Structure 1
Amino acid sequence: MSQPRSQASWPAGIAEVRLEPTDISRTELREEVKGWLLFVREESYPTSTPEDGLRQRRAFIEKWATASQEFRESYYSRAPVYDSALDYPASVLSQLARRPDKRFLLLGGGTHPFETAGAGYAPRCHVPELLDLPARTALYLNQADFHALSMTRRGTVVFADGPDYSWYVIDTPGLAIGQMAIVEFGSNGQVRDSILRRPWNIGLVVLFGEMGRRVADLAESSIGGPPRINEPLDMDRPILELLESTRQSNKFMDVGYGHPDLWLQIIEKSAPGYLELEAQGREVEFELNDLVQCDAWY
């Protein structure tokens, strides 16, 4: 008797549930997924609990992925082109909470390629092979998140909210040199483009990203600063020395910004207890939950 698949690792073990290898543009996606959307509309029924909704969405993915091509074409041939690749009926989305629009990712060791939404090389920086963030896993394929996922006429999975959005990626190599990658993923989960910025230069980058600016636009316009002020940092230095050396070398976006007394005030107010731990060589023990949001400092 076969053992049931782990709910946490779904769809591991379903060989037919595959990620689409091609990066498909937003316009092309609307045509590519129309048969799948019609299938969902015709097969869906109201669910009463989030668990029932999850089972229904996963069942749809399994059935579409494992069906014959003739079955999929029978929907594709009579389907209209929908407004978007995520044009699902309200009944299917009723038990699915919308993911908060927070596009920050932490990179870890990776688990399962179909449970992660990105891999590969970027033109201007290297992003490790697999992105492993529990919330991202849970809110995409594992949770059959129809706010993000769609399926092609070939039965493959696409991340239909991926194109044209910027993600802010923090990985171990980046932490070591004080750099954050701003990454644009394609519909196939692969890295399409990226740039590197020091964290304290991220403000304008986030603002312009929210206005729909692409990674290529950010790079060409030097939003978040030119390469000279986004060079790697020596993160082994004490934080006050790191900030002051950046000021003295004119590598803040505002020339000469800040002074040692200001750094001290900002750190003590926003990260209470950090400097004491750092002085004892125990800064890694600082709890990120202890960070305090402060008003802007001028």
Structure 2
Amino acid sequence: MGQSASDASWPAGIPEIHLHPTDLPSDELPEEAKGWLLFVKKEYQRVSTPEEGLRQRRALIEKWATASQEFRESYHSRAPACTSARDYPASLLSQQAPRPDKRFLCLPPVDPQTHPRNYIHLVKLLIMMYIHQDEWNGQHPFDQAGPGHAPRSHIPEFLNLATPIALNDILSELHLSSADFHALSMTRSGTVVFADGSDYTWYVIEESELATGRMTIVEFGSDGSVRDSIVRRAWNMGRVMAFGQSLGRRVADLEESCIGGPPQYNEPLNMDRPIIELLEATRMDSKFLYEGFGYMDLWVRLIEQNAPGYLDLEAQGREVEFKLDNLRNVGIDTL
């Protein structure tokens, strides 16, 4: 049925498989998914290889999506109530390791050999996060509460996509092609919803932001759409993390309260400039969150402490040689 298990473009070519058209509240998902969950429990068979597991999960999605509404209602009407839209058999979930809990992503290609300018901008952006003005929150915004619990929280996950994607496509890219039952579910109308990943806060570096020293803080809906988002300069992320992760503020709350600064404190930066010049220009323009924050010796000390060797390489025009592994580990990685 359908395409081969190795086809990373799946479900392209199967028009019946598509996301739900609206963002369903999380408390409505179990009721919407209960018929699908019963169907999976009835149809699922144990497999012996990960490839067979992927093929079976895709086949289940395809069968439910292409079935008649009468067929789906026959399951929904007799399905017991459930508390989770991901109440799958444990043996089915064991076929596939859950995706690492990491919600810090970089969308554009940053290979230092093929995309050196992107790589240099990325290095600067990651260094700038150590200069976040909120030392009471740790030496890095992710020291106290990172974007998930995966290690190396200060380094984003690189999606390495052949073609660019929009924010609205992120959850599909991460979970749909792999038929990731740890994250997705299906509704009584045969559409796909994300029962994990939505409602959380994600931190995403897009192509345009890589060149301007910023990132998007975004919350997705269960349909994969962007529910709320804000853009912040890298060195304004300390306040964002303190209020967002530690105090539980949603992205809409961060925007309403201008956490991480109002728009004039988060304007695009010219990431082709040397990093010290960027910092000094920001200080001179009074565009740090704290007026008068910083001075030359502080910039040098923070950069040498957290990215040893970078300034020497930059002075020689060789910053593309800086290794991300040389950035100081943060949070649980330092314990």
Which stretches of structure 1, 4 residues or longer, exceed 4 Å deviation after superposition? 2-6, 109-113
1:199-210 alignment runs, 5 A limit = 199-210=234-245
Partner of residue 172 from structure 1, selected from 168, 190, 207: 207
> What residue identity is the alignment partner of 2:7?
Q
> What residue identity is the alignment partner of 2:66?
T
1:7 aligns with 7
Residues 147 and 6 (structure 1 numbering): CA distance in 2 closer, same or farther, change over 3 Å? closer
* Deviation (angstroms), 1:118: 4.1
Conservation of the 8 A alpha-carbon contact between 2:202 and 2:218: yes
What is the CA–CA distance in structure 2 between the aligned matches of 1:206 and 1:111, rounded to whole Å?
31
> What residue identity is the alignment partner of 1:65?
A
1:239 aligns with 275
1:54 aligns with 54
Q: Kindly indicate whether structure 1 or structure 2 has the higher relative contact order, using CA contacts under 8 Å at least 6 residues apart.
A: 2
What is the CA–CA distance in structure 2 between the aligned matches of 1:237 and 1:219, rounded to whole Å?
29
What is the CA–CA distance in structure 2 between the aligned matches of 1:224 and 1:269, rounded to whole Å?
24
The question of 1:264 aligning with 2:300 is answered yes
What is the CA–CA distance in structure 1 between the aligned matches of 2:11 and 2:87, rounded to whole Å?
23
1:122 aligns with none
Residues 218 and 83 (structure 1 numbering): CA distance in 2 closer, same or farther, change over 3 Å? same
Q: Structure 1: any 5+ residue segments left out of the alignment? A: 120-129
Residues 148 and 157 (structure 1 numbering): CA distance in 2 closer, same or farther, change over 3 Å? same
2:193 aligns with 158
* Deviation (angstroms), 1:193: 1.4
* Deviation (angstroms), 1:20: 1.9
What is the CA–CA distance in structure 1 between the aligned matches of 2:201 and 2:86, rounded to whole Å?
19
1:83-122 alignment runs, 5 A limit = 83-108=83-108, 118-119=167-168
Moved more, 147-156 or 11-20: 11-20
> What residue identity is the alignment partner of 1:84?
S
What is the CA–CA distance in structure 2 between the aligned matches of 1:263 and 1:94, rounded to whole Å?
48
> What residue identity is the alignment partner of 1:257?
F
1:1-298 alignment runs, 5 A limit = 4=4, 6-108=6-108, 118-119=167-168, 130-131=169-170, 137=173, 139-210=174-245, 211-293=247-329
- TM-score, normalised to structure 1, is 0.81
List per-residue Cα deviations over 1:124-143 (Å, max 9, x = no partner): xxxxxx55x9xx83x40122
What is the CA–CA distance in structure 1 between the aligned matches of 2:304 and 2:53, rounded to whole Å?
46
- TM-score, normalised to structure 2, is 0.73
Conservation of the 8 A alpha-carbon contact between 1:23 and 1:188: yes
What is the CA–CA distance in structure 2 between the aligned matches of 1:117 and 1:233, rounded to whole Å?
22
1:154 partner SS: coil
Residues 112 and 289 (structure 1 numbering): CA distance in 2 closer, same or farther, change over 3 Å? same
* Deviation (angstroms), 1:293: 2.5
Q: How many residues align?
A: 278
What is the CA–CA distance in structure 1 between the aligned matches of 2:162 and 2:72, rounded to whole Å?
30
What is the CA–CA distance in structure 2 between the aligned matches of 1:165 and 1:117, rounded to whole Å?
18
Moved more, 153-162 or 204-213: 204-213
Conservation of the 8 A alpha-carbon contact between 2:5 and 2:51: no
Conservation of the 8 A alpha-carbon contact between 1:185 and 1:191: yes
Residues 4 and 147 (structure 1 numbering): CA distance in 2 closer, same or farther, change over 3 Å? closer
Residues 84 and 207 (structure 1 numbering): CA distance in 2 closer, same or farther, change over 3 Å? farther
1:127 aligns with none
What is the CA–CA distance in structure 1 between the aligned matches of 2:53 and 2:4, rounded to whole Å?
19
Residues 155 and 117 (structure 1 numbering): CA distance in 2 closer, same or farther, change over 3 Å? farther
